[in-house]
Structure 1
Amino acid sequence: MKDCKVNELRGMWIATVFGIDWPKTQNNPEAQKKEFIEILDTLQSLNFNAVFVQIRPTSDAFYNSHINPWSVYLTGTQGKSPGYDPLKFMIKETHKRNMEFHAWLNPYRITTNGTDLNQLAKLNPARLNPNWALEYDDALFYNPENQEVIKYVATTVFEIVKNYYVDGIHFDDYFYPYNYPLPEGEDKDGEVANNRREAVNDMIRLVYKAIKSTRACVQFGVSPFGVWKNKSSDHKGSDSNNLESYYNVYTDSLAWIEEGIIDYIAPQIYWTIDNKNSSYETLVKWWIEAVKDTCVDLYIGQNISNEDIAREIEKEIQINRKYSEVEGSIFFSMINLEENTGNVVQQFERVYRNKAGIPYEGCD
Structure 2
Amino acid sequence: MACGLSPVIGTGLGLAGCAEAPLRLPPLPGELRLEPAPELLAQAPLPLREFRAVWVATVANIDWPSRKGLSSAQQQAEAIALLDLAVQLQLNAVILQVRPSADALFDSPLEPWSEYLSGSQGQAPEPFYDPLAFWIDQAHQRGLELHAWLNPFRARQSQASSAAAAQHLSRSQPQWVRRYGDQLWIDPGEPAAADHTLAVVEDLLRRYEIDGLHLDDYFYPYPVNDTAGRELDFPDEPSWTRYREAGGTLNRADWRRQNVDQLVQRLQQAVRRVRPEARFGISPFGIGKPALRPEGIAGFSQYDKLYADVERWLAEGWVDYLVPQLYWPIAQKAQAFGPLLDYWHGQNPLGRHIWPGLFSSKVTDKADSWPVDELLQQIALLRERRPGSGHAHFSMVALAQNRRGLADALRQQAYSQPALVPATPWLAGAAAPDVPALDWRCHREVQNNGEAQLILRLRPGTRHAGSWRYWVQIRHAREGWRSRLMGSQADGSAELRLPAAGVEGLVLRAVGGLGQLGPAQALRVPAD
TM-score normalised by the chain length of structure 1 = 0.91
Q: Tell me, what secondary structure is at the counterpart of 1:319?
A: helix
Instruction: Give the letter aligned to residue 206 of structure 1.
Output: R
Do structure 1's residue 282 and structure 2's residue 324 form an aligned pair?
A: no
Distance 1:321 1:262 in 2: 22
Equivalent in the alignment of 2:261: 201
Report if the CA contact (8 A) 2:165-2:171 is conserved. yes
Shift of 1:135: 1.2
Equivalent in the alignment of 1:111: 156
Cα distance per residue 1:76-108 (max 9 Å; x no partner): 011111121001110000000011000001111
Report if the CA contact (8 A) 1:269-1:301 is conserved. yes
Shift of 1:326: 6.5
Name which of 27, 30, 51 aligns with 1:9: 51
Deviates more, 1:105-114 or 1:149-158: 105-114
Distance 1:327 1:70 in 2: 36
Instruction: Give the letter aligned to residue 304 of structure 2.
Output: Y
More helix per residue: 1 or 2?
1
Distance 1:27 1:66 in 2: 23
Q: Map of 1:26-37 to 2, 5 A cutoff?
A: 26-37=69-80
Report if the CA contact (8 A) 1:161-1:215 is conserved. yes
Shift of 1:339: 2.0
Aligned residues: 351
Equivalent in the alignment of 2:138: 93
Report if the CA contact (8 A) 2:98-2:132 is conserved. yes
Q: Describe the shift of the 1:299–1:98 C-alpha distance in structure 2 as closer, same or farther (beyond 3 A).
A: same
The alignment's C-alpha RMSD in Å is: 2.2
Name which of 353, 366, 376 aligns with 1:314: 376
Deviates more, 1:309-318 or 1:39-48: 309-318
Distance 1:344 1:51 in 2: 18
Shift of 1:149: 1.4
Unaligned runs of 5+ in 1: 185-189
Q: Describe the shift of the 1:264–1:166 C-alpha distance in structure 2 as closer, same or farther (beyond 3 A).
A: same
Cα distance per residue 1:126-175 (max 9 Å; x no partner): 32111100111121000011111111111111111100000001011111
Distance 1:343 1:203 in 2: 41
Do structure 1's residue 136 and structure 2's residue 201 form an aligned pair?
A: no
Distance 2:408 2:160 in 1: 44
Distance 1:261 1:104 in 2: 17
Report if the CA contact (8 A) 1:49-1:358 is conserved. yes
Report if the CA contact (8 A) 1:60-1:69 is conserved. yes
More strand per residue: 1 or 2?
2
Do structure 1's residue 328 and structure 2's residue 415 form an aligned pair?
A: no
Equivalent in the alignment of 1:163: 207
Shift of 1:238: 3.3
Q: Tell me, what secondary structure is at the counterpart of 2:356?
A: strand
Report if the CA contact (8 A) 1:115-1:135 is conserved. no
Instruction: Give the letter aligned to residue 66 of structure 1.
Output: P
Equivalent in the alignment of 1:187: none
Report if the CA contact (8 A) 1:303-1:310 is conserved. no
Q: Map of 1:114-125 to 2, 5 A cutoff?
A: 119-125=163-169
Distance 1:252 1:163 in 2: 30
Name which of 358, 361, 375 aligns with 1:305: 361
Identity level (%): 32
Cα distance per residue 1:331-360 (max 9 Å; x no partner): 001111122234322331211100012345
Q: Map of 1:200-239 to 2, 5 A cutoff?
A: 200-230=260-290, 234=291, 236-239=292-295
Q: Tell me, what secondary structure is at the counterpart of 1:305?
A: helix
Distance 2:86 2:387 in 1: 24
Cα distance per residue 1:238-272 (max 9 Å; x no partner): 33111111112110001111111111111000000
Instruction: Give the letter aligned to residue 343 of structure 1.
Output: G
Equivalent in the alignment of 2:117: 74
Unaligned runs of 5+ in 2: 1-45, 225-231, 236-249, 364-369, 424-429, 431-464, 468-528
Distance 1:256 1:345 in 2: 34
Instruction: Give the letter aligned to residue 304 of structure 1.
Output: S
Q: Describe the shift of the 1:32–1:114 C-alpha distance in structure 2 as closer, same or farther (beyond 3 A).
A: closer
Distance 2:371 2:49 in 1: 24
Q: Describe the shift of the 1:144–1:353 C-alpha distance in structure 2 as closer, same or farther (beyond 3 A).
A: same
Equivalent in the alignment of 2:419: 356
Distance 2:277 2:234 in 1: 42
Q: Describe the shift of the 1:183–1:78 C-alpha distance in structure 2 as closer, same or farther (beyond 3 A).
A: closer
Q: Tell me, what secondary structure is at the counterpart of 1:95?
A: helix
Structure 1 ranges of 4+ moved more than 6 A: none
Instruction: Give the letter aligned to residue 263 of structure 2.
Output: M
Q: Tell me, what secondary structure is at the counterpart of 2:334?
A: coil
Report if the CA contact (8 A) 1:174-1:249 is conserved. yes
Q: Tell me, what secondary structure is at the counterpart of 2:155?
A: coil
Report if the CA contact (8 A) 2:388-2:422 is conserved. no
Q: Describe the shift of the 1:114–1:131 C-alpha distance in structure 2 as closer, same or farther (beyond 3 A).
A: farther
Report if the CA contact (8 A) 1:303-1:309 is conserved. no
Distance 2:282 2:401 in 1: 27
Shift of 1:58: 1.2
Q: Tell me, what secondary structure is at the counterpart of 1:65?
A: coil
Do structure 1's residue 127 and structure 2's residue 171 form an aligned pair?
A: yes
Deviates more, 1:86-95 or 1:124-133: 124-133
Distance 1:17 1:244 in 2: 25
Distance 2:168 2:388 in 1: 39
Q: Tell me, what secondary structure is at the counterpart of 1:322?
A: helix
Distance 1:135 1:325 in 2: 44
Distance 2:267 2:360 in 1: 30
Report if the CA contact (8 A) 1:227-1:238 is conserved. no
Distance 1:182 1:126 in 2: 20
Q: Tell me, what secondary structure is at the counterpart of 1:213?
A: helix
Distance 2:234 2:108 in 1: 37
Q: Describe the shift of the 1:183–1:44 C-alpha distance in structure 2 as closer, same or farther (beyond 3 A).
A: closer
Q: Tell me, what secondary structure is at the counterpart of 1:110?
A: strand
Equivalent in the alignment of 1:260: 317
